[in-house]
Amino acid sequence: MTERQRRGVVVPPTLDTLRLRLRRWRDTDLAPFAQLNADPEVMQFMPGRLTSSESDAFVTDRIVSHFDMYGYGLWAVERRDTADFIGFVGHLWQTFEAPFTPALEVGWRLGRTHWGNGFATEAAAEALRVAFDDLSETEVVSMTVPMNHRSTAVMGRLGMTRDPRDDFDHPRLPPGHRYRRHVLYRITADDWQRQPRG
């Protein structure tokens, strides 16, 4: 199927992992998400921090609209033990001009106080399961800037691999921007199925 034909695939509105719940967004998520997007450490490898209105617009214009169009996307993530919102993990169709697009990306952004617990890997693994088991995708990608070692470590733990020949200049950033160069990680459905479970 093409990317357009995958719209409307039915994915459960809530996904549970051992410690986390991935769910649709609520209005009460906007304030903690804005705090997250204003944190210079969280946004270190993004083009810039977001104002509160920019953060709200990101949820409305990109995240919610993606869910409305496809039935899945960047889920809000909360801890099951406390019900605290900790960020997002999930899918985003990337259609900018690049040799590998259109492509389904798995991505994440978590609050700094929740780093170091394996939450990104745990939630992203569930997102990959959905991509391959529920959506019948053949490949999922992830991308970041080369110096974002925390994210590339998650990609590696997920079983994703990088071929330096896939590295690219992100067309949504201007020439000369310090974060224009990106590394691309991939995982195929076959690679995912070969991974040990448990």
Answer yes or no: are the C-beta atoms of 73 and 66 closer than 8 Å. yes
In sequence order, the 6+-apart residues with CB closer than 8 A to the CB of 59 are 25, 29, 30, 33
Rg for the chain (alpha carbons), in Å? 16
Portion of the chain with pLDDT greater than 70, in percent: 94
Question: Which one, of 3, 46, 37, 13, lies nearest residue 130 by Cα?
Answer: 13
Residue 152 has pLDDT above 50, yes or no: yes
Domain of 149, CATH number, reads: 3.40.630.30
Q: What is the pLDDT of residues 83-132, one digit of tens each?
A: 999 999 999 999 999 999 999 999 999 999 999 999 999 999 999 999 99
Q: Please give the mean pLDDT across all residues of the chain.
A: 94
Q: At what angle are helices 149-157 and 119-129 packed, to 10 degrees?
A: 50
Mean of the pLDDT values across residues 50-78? 96
- pLDDT class of 179 with cuts at 50, 70, 90: very high
Distances (CA, A) of 179 to 147, 168, 189: 9, 11, 29
Structural domain harbouring 45: 4-194
Answer yes or no: are the C-beta atoms of 6 and 135 closer than 8 Å. yes
Distance CA 102, CA 113 (A): 33
Distances (CA, A) of 148 to 77, 170, 180, 181, 183: 21, 15, 13, 12, 10
Task: Find residue 20's DSSP bridge partners.
Answer: 79
The total number of structural domains in the chain stands at: 1
- pLDDT class of 11 with cuts at 50, 70, 90: confident
Residue 135 has pLDDT above 70, yes or no: yes
Q: What is the pTM of this model?
A: 0.93
CA 23 to chain centre: 14
Q: What is the pLDDT of residues 31-63, one digit of tens each?
A: 999 999 999 999 999 999 999 999 999 999 999
- What backbone torsions phi and psi does residue 76 show, to the nearest 5 degrees? -70, 140
Q: What's the pLDDT at 111?
A: 98
Distance CA 188, CA 38 (A): 34
CA 21 to chain centre: 15
Distance CA 84, CA 185 (A): 30
